[in-house]
C-alpha cells in the first residue's frame, strides 16, 4: 500500500530501500547492545553509550581522536522508535523520487554529501558531551534538491509550476520546523542546525547534480558553476569553523 500511494517508483533493489533496511537493522542491533529502561525514556531507545560506540556524532571523538567518519555514521543510527519510524517513512517517500531523478549512483553520492554537510554544520553548535544521530540530515537535504530543481529550470517552468513547487517544499520545511522546536544544544532531541545544514547542502549541490531539461542554456551553466562554488565554500568554511570552535 505504501509503495502504491507514497513511493510508487521504489524497488527492493533501489538504494533507498537498501539504506532504509540498513537503518532498521542497525536500530535493532543497537537495541540489542544496550536499551534504556525505566525512568522517562522514549519507547525503544538505545543507550547513549551504545550510540556513541556505534558512531554517533560527538565533539570529543571527532576533534581529539580524529574520528571524522562520525560525520557520516550518524545516518545509520536512531535515538528511539518514533525517530526511526518517521525518518524511514520520509526517506522512502522523498528518496525514491530523488533516486529516479538523479539515477542510483549519483543519488548515493548526493545522499551522503547531504549527510556530511548536515552533520558538519550541525556539529558547529554541539556541546562537548552531546551526541547526535539520525538520517534526517540527509533526508532534509533531499528537499533541498527540489529547491535546486526550480532554480536550475527557472526559465523552463511556467509561473504556476514555480509557485507550486516552491510552496510545496517550504510547506514541508515549515512542518518540520514546527515539530522540531528546540535548541541543538543537548537540551533538545532535535538537531535543528543539522537539518538546516542538510537543506543548504542539498540546495547548493542540487544546482550541479540536476541535469537541465534539454540543452543547457547560459543561465543553467552559470547556476551549475555557482552551485559548485557554494558547495565548496560551505564545506571549507564549516570544516575550518568546526575545528576553530571545538579545538579548545
Sequential DSSP letters for 149-176: HHHHTTTTS-HHHHHHHHHHHHHHHHHH
Instruction: Confirm whether 180 is a catalytic residue.
Output: no
Annotated catalytic residue, options 14, 96, 136, 184: 136
Catalytic residue among 90, 96, 184, 195: 195
Q: What does the angle CA 16 – CA 145 – CA 123 come to, to the nearest 5 degrees?
A: 80
Q: Is 246 annotated as catalytic?
A: no
The C-alpha cell at 23 is 537503518
| Residue whose C-alpha is closest to residue 153's, from 229, 231, 93, 215 | 215
Alpha-carbon gap, residue 189 to 125, rounded angstroms: 14
Cβ 221 vs Cβ 240: under 8 Å: no
The three three-digit cell numbers of residue 173, written as one number: 520545511
Which residues carry out catalysis?
A: 136, 195
Amino acid at each position: 500500500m505504501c509503495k502504491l500511494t507514497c513511493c510508487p517508483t521504489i524497488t527492493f533493489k533501489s538504494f533507498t530501500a537498501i539504506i532504509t533496511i540498513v537503518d532498521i537493522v542497525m536500530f535493532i542491533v543497537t537495541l540489542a547492545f544496550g536499551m534504556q529502561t525505566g525512568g522517562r525514556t522514549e519507547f525503544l531507545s538505545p543507550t547513549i553509550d551504545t550510540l556513541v560506540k556505534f558512531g554517533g556524532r560527538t565533539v570529543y571523538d571527532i576533534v581529539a581522536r580524529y574520528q571524522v567518519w562520525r560525520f557520516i555514521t550518524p545516518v545509520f543510527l536512531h535515538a528511539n522508535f518514533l525517530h526511526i519510524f518517521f525518518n524511514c517513512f520520509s526517506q522512502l517517500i522523498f528518496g525514491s523520487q530523488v533516486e529516479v531523478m538523479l539515477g542510483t549512483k549519483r543519488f548515493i553520492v548526493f545522499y551522503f554529501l547531504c549527510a556530511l554537510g548536515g552533520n558538519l554544520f550541525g556539529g558547529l553548535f554541539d556541546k562537548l558531551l552531546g551526541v547526535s544521530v539520525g538520517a534526517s540530515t540527509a533526508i532534509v537535504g533531499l528537499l533541498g534538491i527540489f529547491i535546486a530543481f526550480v532554480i536550475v529550470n527557472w526559465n523552463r517552468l511556467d509561473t504556476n509550476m514555480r509557485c507550486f513547487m516552491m510552496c510545496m517544499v517550504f510547506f514541508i520545511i515549515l512542518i518540520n520546523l514546527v515539530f522540531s522546536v528546540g535548541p541543538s544544544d543537548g537540551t533538545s532531541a532535535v538537531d535543528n542546525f543539522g537539518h538546516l545544514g542538510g537543506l543548504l547542502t542539498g540546495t547548493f549541490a542540487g544546482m550541479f547534480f540536476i541535469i537541465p531539461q534539454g540543452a543547457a542554456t547560459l543561465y543553467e551553466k552559470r547556476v551549475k558553476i555557482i552551485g559548485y562554488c557554494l558547495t565548496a565554500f560551505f564545506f571549507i568554511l564549516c570544516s575550518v569553523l568546526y575545528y576553530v570552535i571545538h579545538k579548545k
